[in-house]
Structure 1
């Protein structure tokens, strides 16, 4: 032990006592210190006692130095960086995880330390977020929180994160309107025809070239989705190389990731899942729609200065894949025009396709393969709604016969 003299801010002479010790985890020499008012034998004895206590506490503390000051926000960023490097996730999934992190940080204070995180803090996060978002979205983000804490457990040897099991995610009771909207999230054939016709006729109501292009392509998109049951992202990612007009087949090998690339916006990414990668057969009408859209793009490439041919088919006036927000706005406006009271979007056309196949008596397995579903429950929910309606129609017919 040794000491050094120093003068405090009040001009008083004080003594700082030091002692060295070897860190058992690094074999490096470190030191601790205590401040005393005097340097006599009694003070030295007291200083030695305090120094020994500090050394013992340092040796017993197995918590890594970086976890002592690591905030939960920093841990989120660290986990995301590791996830990007090691998960093998596609770009769209990584963007989704970034959104999860941004959402989580919104509700957990930035100065909360990882070592102090507990079920109380996390329950407050859940309770506040629950007021603003759906149960499904909250559950999705909670899954990310658990992944982050498991990363901390494995990476920083945190012994116990069992407190996450004590956090409760409250459920929201669905209203009758919500249940009805979900059950009716598809259109009958005559409703689709009316919708497509209204969108197409709306082209003559605008003089803006960009709007004309959006309306034309949306009319093609709605009909094509209803005929083939693709996800809208898969449709927007179609390129000429995916089409075999001779054999009337379409290879679905990607989806659109909404990010900037060079002078354009929207790039082709891998499909949602491995089973989403598939080849489907096309009707003659589907082939006609693709040919019409490709011909329109050729005209734009020749006459429109803004158009940049990026190899996509269903595009806006600049050659970028048509934005899904624009598509849905047009669909919902036209649905209102033709008195369709259901709350629909471009995704409703996928449900409509499943509905039509169900009514034609196509097997559940064949439908799943065509639309790229891995979970039969997803298809079955739509399938069941349709068959339920078919049962009602059957009974109505039987009643007529019995009369």
Structure 2
């Protein structure tokens, strides 16, 4: 191995590992170098008084003469005090010039420490590249970001991208939380973005709720899907994930998220009628994590008679083939592959000739069915893992009836 082929880090690592390099010596040399640099830039004389104490001046705009004296017992202590003084001034100068562009990487690292959702961090970085990169706002010193500057920036942002309320909230997380971080660092005293008011009713783009038939499986569609999925499981085929059709049927009976469905274990069945949802499969990193999407998603879901049946059939199938696994719908020791379920939804929709509807639409169908069945709203909210019933009603409540069924219900409701 030649010297050229060994990089600097390898040399340092080797030296530390073999006690060739003493960190205390390195620190001492760094301190000496720093002191030498200070003496070269320090414009005031250092002298020893008649009392044998060492003195010098440093700049201080709060004093009448524009300077103040530092006095120490020995020269080494005086130089240490000078190092502290100049370090503090460098930090103050750095904070005055600190911009969002330079703060963002530091804040993002800090943000990443507080979440296990890597996809969330990637989404934030995507928003940075789309809404912040190459804009003037990121070059303005954070100390100069006042209410007026941020008010103008926020309103231009909304108009330029014709933003919905949700889009605006998501993309301004960077500015809002980075400024909170700057407050914690002591760079600024308060977050000026919190003073900016947005008239949402006038400015935000209104979002029209998508047609019901695109968001849920209608009553006639779901019957066909049930039939196809059951036939798919029952008939001889070379489907690698043989239990995935049962997983589809189970999802319609429980409304669990796809990641939760894939990670279900027999040990989660904690009582005769309920299954504990407490983990999920994360497809971005291909791993099972021992928590759900939010704290409200850790919940108990009622098992219908059909849901219990699908579990028993899966268990029987695994036993017959000698499959040893803790996962309910898997045919291996690993969790059920999420793509295998997603593929079946696409396949079944194509077979019955309807628009593509995902596993999330099955979750919406489940919630809408419970509400149609007059299950208490709070019970529905708890079982699907929502923190607020407004989320349940606003985003998951759709009419599952066909046009003919709607017409009949309206006629019946208005009949004299």
* Separation of aligned partners in 2, 1:221 and 1:105: 38
Over 3 Å counting, the alpha-carbon distance change for 1:134 and 1:163 in structure 2 is closer
Q: Does 1:351 align with 2:364?
A: yes
Q: Do the aligned residues in 2 keep the contact of 1:122 with 1:167 (CA within 8 Å)? A: no
Question: Which one of 179, 188, 205 corresponds to residue 149 of structure 1?
Answer: 179
Question: Which one of 389, 396, 415 corresponds to residue 376 of structure 1?
Answer: 389
Q: Do the aligned residues in 1 keep the contact of 2:381 with 2:389 (CA within 8 Å)? A: yes
* Separation of aligned partners in 2, 1:322 and 1:248: 26
* Separation of aligned partners in 1, 2:308 and 2:234: 25
**Residue in 2 aligned with 1:19?**
43
Q: Does 1:29 align with 2:50?
A: no
Q: Does 1:224 align with 2:250?
A: yes
Question: Which one of 97, 110, 119 corresponds to residue 121 of structure 2?
Answer: 97
Higher mean C-alpha displacement, 21-30 vs 69-78: 21-30
Specify the SS of the correspondent of 1:280.
Answer: strand
Specify the SS of the correspondent of 1:224.
Answer: helix
Over residues 110-154 of structure 1, what are the superposed CA-to-partner deviations in whole Å (9 max), with x where a residue is unaligned? 7944616654666676666x37x9763452231233111221133
Q: Do the aligned residues in 1 keep the contact of 2:254 with 2:303 (CA within 8 Å)? A: yes
**Residue in 2 aligned with 1:253?**
278
Specify the SS of the correspondent of 1:213.
Answer: coil
Question: Which one of 347, 352, 369 corresponds to residue 338 of structure 1?
Answer: 352
Over 3 Å counting, the alpha-carbon distance change for 1:65 and 1:300 in structure 2 is farther
**Residue in 1 aligned with 2:305?**
284
Specify the SS of the correspondent of 2:301.
Answer: strand
Specify the SS of the correspondent of 1:357.
Answer: helix
Q: Do the aligned residues in 1 keep the contact of 2:276 with 2:301 (CA within 8 Å)? A: yes
Over 3 Å counting, the alpha-carbon distance change for 1:335 and 1:372 in structure 2 is same
CA RMSD of aligned residues (A): 4.4
Q: Do the aligned residues in 2 keep the contact of 1:183 with 1:382 (CA within 8 Å)? A: no
Length, aligned pairs only: 333
**Residue in 2 aligned with 1:365?**
378
More strand by share: 1
Runs (5+) with no aligned partner, structure 1: 1-15, 31-54, 303-308
**Residue in 1 aligned with 2:204?**
171
Q: Do the aligned residues in 2 keep the contact of 1:294 with 1:313 (CA within 8 Å)? A: yes
TM-score by length of 1: 0.65
Q: Do the aligned residues in 2 keep the contact of 1:71 with 1:110 (CA within 8 Å)? A: no
| 1:230-249 matched pairs, under 5 angstroms | 230-244=256-270, 247-249=272-274
The structural deviation recorded for 1:347 is 1.3
Over residues 70-111 of structure 1, what are the superposed CA-to-partner deviations in whole Å (9 max), with x where a residue is unaligned? 5534422322333344x4x4x12x541343134314543379
Over 3 Å counting, the alpha-carbon distance change for 1:394 and 1:266 in structure 2 is same
| 1:43-82 matched pairs, under 5 angstroms | 64-68=92-96, 70=98, 72-82=100-110
**Residue in 1 aligned with 2:20?**
none
Over 3 Å counting, the alpha-carbon distance change for 1:301 and 1:104 in structure 2 is farther
Q: Do the aligned residues in 2 keep the contact of 1:100 with 1:144 (CA within 8 Å)? A: yes
**Residue in 2 aligned with 1:6?**
none
| 1:101-112 matched pairs, under 5 angstroms | 101-109=125-133, 112=138
The structural deviation recorded for 1:197 is 2.8
Runs (5+) with no aligned partner, structure 2: 1-39, 45-56, 63-67, 71-80
* Separation of aligned partners in 2, 1:283 and 1:203: 20
**Residue in 2 aligned with 1:51?**
none
Over 3 Å counting, the alpha-carbon distance change for 1:232 and 1:241 in structure 2 is same
TM-score by length of 2: 0.64
Over residues 298-341 of structure 1, what are the superposed CA-to-partner deviations in whole Å (9 max), with x where a residue is unaligned? 56765xxxxxx673233476733322x55334313322321334
